[in-house]
Amino acid sequence: MRSSATACAACRTPSPLFPFTMAFQPIIDVETQRIDAHEALVRGPGGEGAQSVLDQVDAETIYAFDQACRVKAIELAARLGMTTQLNINFMPNAVYEPRACILRTLQAAARSGFPLDRLTFEFVENEHIVDVAHTQAIITEYRRHGFRIALDDFSTGYSGLLRLAELKPDIIKIDRGLVRDCDQDRVRRAILASLIGLGAELGIKVVAEGVERAAEVATLRDMGLRYMQGFYFARPVFEGLASPTVALHRVM
């Protein structure tokens, strides 16, 4: 991690250093048949995939990019009239001092009129936490402002049980790898049932990612899972929001 002075200078660099924007994918509450939240997903200015943007991020731009993503997501969500929770992916290793690094987020929310208690920050799944104590300090500061914390792609990469114990998130998002064909796989169902039960025991909201088939929806509902996200309900909408009726049409 670079020094605070170096990182601070990087954040002040005019950003973004390359053009990008956001798409939004809904997270569905299958119990109420409503959209519960939207996840902001980075896209190129012409709708190019996230990787085309992320490939341009390096050690010199990571701080400015992380800050710019938050601002872009909040301002665009407010402009679109989003009334649900907004989930934003973030890089904890790009936060050198929690109170300083949250200022642009707070300013963007105030400027846009977006309520702080509707912001959820998701740890990106490929981010290796260098300093657990530092990350815990980030979470403490974020919660002080009313933000919620989610572990993305839980069960893959670094998003495992140890990270759950260390960070005590508000939300876990189960990776598509476990959700895929869960209706046909007894082992996947057993693992999913354990995670759903663990969430209930700990008071953690559980979301299934990558839901693509009606049979997966039915199986997850039978297991007591309430929140789902995936192509079955809606693909990410480039600089827009899915219709509020999307859940009504797709929830069985």
Tell me, what's the pLDDT at 92?
75
What value does the mean pLDDT of the chain take?
88
Given a cut of 90, whether residue 189 has pLDDT beyond it is yes
| CATH architecture of the domain with range 4-250 | Alpha-Beta Barrel (3.20)
Q: Flag whether pLDDT at 192 surpasses 60.
A: yes
Residue 252: pLDDT band by 50, 70, 90 thresholds?
low
pLDDT of residue 202: 95
Q: Where are the domains of the chain?
A: 4-250
What local confidence, expressed as pLDDT, does residue 1 receive? 46
Q: How far are the Cα atoms of 48, 79, 85, 209 from residue 234, in angstroms, in the given order? A: 18, 21, 17, 12
Share of the chain above pLDDT 70, in %: 87
83 Cβ partners below 8 Å, 6+ apart?
A: none
Own/partner pairs, 218-225, CB within 8 angstroms, 24+ separation: 218/183, 218/252, 219/182, 219/183, 219/189, 220/179, 220/182, 220/192, 221/30, 221/252, 223/189, 223/192, 223/193, 223/196, 224/196, 224/200, 225/30, 225/192, 225/196
Q: How confident is the model at residue 127 (pLDDT cuts 50, 70, 90)?
A: low
Check residue 93 and report its DSSP letter.
G
Kindly tell me if the per-residue pLDDT of 131 is higher than 70. Answer: yes
Residue 245: band (very low, low, confident or very high) from pLDDT cuts 50, 70, 90 = confident
142: amino acid identity, one letter: Y
What DSSP character marks residue 1?
Answer: -
Distances 50 to 12, 54, 56, 174 between C-alpha atoms, Å: 24, 6, 10, 20
Burial of 170 (0-12, 13-18, 19+ CB in 10 A): middle
Q: What is the pLDDT of residue 125?
A: 55
**pTM, 2 dp:** 0.90
From 79-88, 128-137, 202-211, the region with the lowest mean pLDDT: 128-137
